[in-house]
Amino acid sequence: SDRYCVFGNPIEHSKSPLIHTEFAQQTKQDIEYTKERAPLDGFAETWRSFVEKGGRGANVTVPFKGDAFALCDTLSKRAQRAKAVNTLTVGGNGLTYGDNTDGVGLIRDLNYHRVPLTDKRVLVIGAGGAVRGALEPLLAEQPGEVVLVNRTAEKAQQLADDFADLGELHSGGFKEIKGPFDVVINGSSASLNGELPPLPGNLFTEGAWAYDMMYGAVQTVFLKWAGTHGAKRLDGLGMLVEQAAEAFFLWRNVRPDTTQVRQMIRQMLN
């Protein structure tokens, strides 16, 4: 069977082996998928040794998406834009191909839940790696406007400059937020620390959606807050499954059905 892996640090709680093993059973692909903690200062070496032992591809998570980007021989357009790689593939020529499926994962999840994006006003919070990966696929949905805000406003400005050619994208600091928005996506890591970005009260339109890229057994502070302001809520678990499905498709050229895996992972969380 072909070998795949997810690399991160820490990696103990990764659900990727479970997700990909389910995908493989469902599509009758003969693969083995494990998880491995790479040392903080030795990602490239860890990847090379995995390839030498017959590894065919890997997913890459925190904090190695930048290291993965740096070691690739060739890159997809969306990975070049994101400057981050979450999916590595060994090509027939032995070269390493890097892609970023995070953004597609987000959009697929939004589509799955029938969250409209085209012509809508979308607020994106954060300007780190997660948001970098999401912007190109998001702008491809042709939202009316995307507003990017970040604690450090200059970083939002930089991102807006980098992606300006792809659509109607504006940036600012939290103080400049002018609602309401149809969709608000929290791509900051504030939820990890149980913190809520300083958001104004009139953030949501009637029927608006709030999306947190984070997930956990308990709802994030951002989603709790959004609920009290009347927004419909989604966490990042669907995005996790969908980015995995896109990686699986890259490696195996078959697209798994994510519905059943979504349910399984959700049950495991609770």
Q: Which residues are annotated as a binding site for NADP(+)?
A: 126-130, 150-155, 213, 236
Q: Which of residues 3, 37, 48, 155 is near ligand ATR by CB under 6 A?
A: 155
Site for ligand ATR contains 105 (CB under 6 A): no
Q: Which of residues 190, 203, 208, 265 is near ligand ATR by CB under 6 A?
A: 190
Site for ligand ATR contains 158 (CB under 6 A): no
From CA 106, how far away is CA 127, in angstroms rounded?
A: 16
3-state secondary structure 83-106: CCCCEEEECCCCCEEEECCHHHHH
The answer to whether 25 and 79 have CB atoms below 8 angstroms apart is no
Site for ligand ATR contains 243 (CB under 6 A): no
The answer to whether 88 and 47 have CB atoms below 8 angstroms apart is yes
Site for ligand ATR contains 83 (CB under 6 A): no
From CA 47, how far away is CA 158, in angstroms rounded?
A: 31
From CA 247, how far away is CA 230, in angstroms rounded?
A: 35
Pick the closer one to ligand ATR by CB: 156 or 265: 156
Report, in Å, the least distance between residue 27 CB and ligand ATR.
30
Report, in Å, the least distance between residue 220 CB and ligand ATR.
12
The answer to whether 177 and 170 have CB atoms below 8 angstroms apart is no
Site for ligand ATR contains 197 (CB under 6 A): yes
Site for ligand ATR contains 103 (CB under 6 A): no
Q: Which residues are annotated as a binding site for shikimate?
A: 14-16, 61, 86, 102, 215, 243
Please name which of 248, 252, 260, 244 lies closest in space to residue 106, comparing C-alpha atoms.
244
Residues 122 to 151 in contact with ligand ATR, rule: CB under 6 A:
126-130, 150-151
> Does residue 65 have an active-site annotation?
yes
Please name which of 40, 53, 39 lies closest in space to residue 4, comparing C-alpha atoms.
53
Number of residues that bind ligand ATR (CB under 6 A): 15
Q: In which residue are the tokens 């599509």 written?
A: 27
Catalytic member of 28, 35, 53, 65: 65
Residue 250 vs residues 18, 30, 56, 140, 260: alpha-carbon distances, Å: 18, 15, 11, 20, 20
Pick the closer one to ligand ATR by CB: 90 or 221: 221
Q: In the complex, which residues of this chain contact ligand ATR (CB under 6 A)?
A: 126-130, 150-152, 155, 188-190, 193, 195, 197
Residues that are catalytic: 65
